Chains A and B, each alone.
Chain A
Amino acid sequence: GENVEQHPSTLSVQEGDSAVIKCTYSDSASNYFPWYKQELGKGPQLIIDIRSNVGEKKDQRIAVTLNKTAKHFSLHITETQPEDSAVYFCAAKAGTALIFGKGTTLSVSS
């Protein structure tokens, strides 16, 4: 079945720097790749997603890139702010199920 690996597990940046989180997936049939942000004590919040027919998608300070050949996709956050501090999860859709990575804890210090 599908397997999603996410790196790094923790990431610390200074306010204003960029942050990049990378995920790889194993099932070449996967065609939908969302990213979620989870704050302490809350449910995961969808922040951006990309489908397999698109290479890049941007939404203000957040962008996602997809390389289908290499089977990896990345989340890019520019001009980080303290409120970006959270756990971020990538996922890949295999059949009817979303398979999640194990998460990246992002800390943005001011």
Chain B
Amino acid sequence: DAGITQSPRHKVTETGTPVTLRCHQTENHRYMYWYRQDPGHGLRLIHYSYGVKDTDKGEVSDGYSVSRSKTEDFLLTLESATSSQTSVYFCAISPNTDTQYFGPGTRLTVL
């Protein structure tokens, strides 16, 4: 998985609780992305980062925030989880905004 780890790999939480997912890379790539994957929707971009402390919104950013304080770490936070945020979350990294390499994913269930 191109030097990308995601933690946790599985999480079950309750509606209204905050959740933070972590993406860690060892490739020193500049660009990092968070996607969610849902049946019937494919992969959709939540947020991305083009450098330390530089982030921007994607297609489905409502209810999510991100932070990147170091090149190697990109955090995705659900401030108050809802059942509609039950999904599989993938982090991706890229050296050049084109070629993206994906991590193993985090399966999140919000009850």
State the A residues within 8 Å of B (CB).
32, 34, 36, 42-46, 49, 89, 91, 93, 96-98, 100-103
Contact = CB atoms under 8 A, between A and B. Distances in A.
B23 to A, nearest CB: 11
Interface residues of B, number: 23
Q: Which of A32, A43, A46, A102 has the most CB of B within 10 A?
A: A43
B77 to A, nearest CB: 21
Interface of B: 1, 4, 40-45, 48, 50, 56, 58-59, 90, 97-105
A43 B105 contact: yes
Q: Which of A34, A44, A49 has the most CB of B within 10 A?
A: A44
A93 B102 contact: no
B34 to A, nearest CB: 12
A44 B4 CA distance: 12
A52 B100 CA distance: 17
B73 to A, nearest CB: 18
B101 A97 contact: no
Contacts of B90: 43-44
A75 B104 CA distance: 24
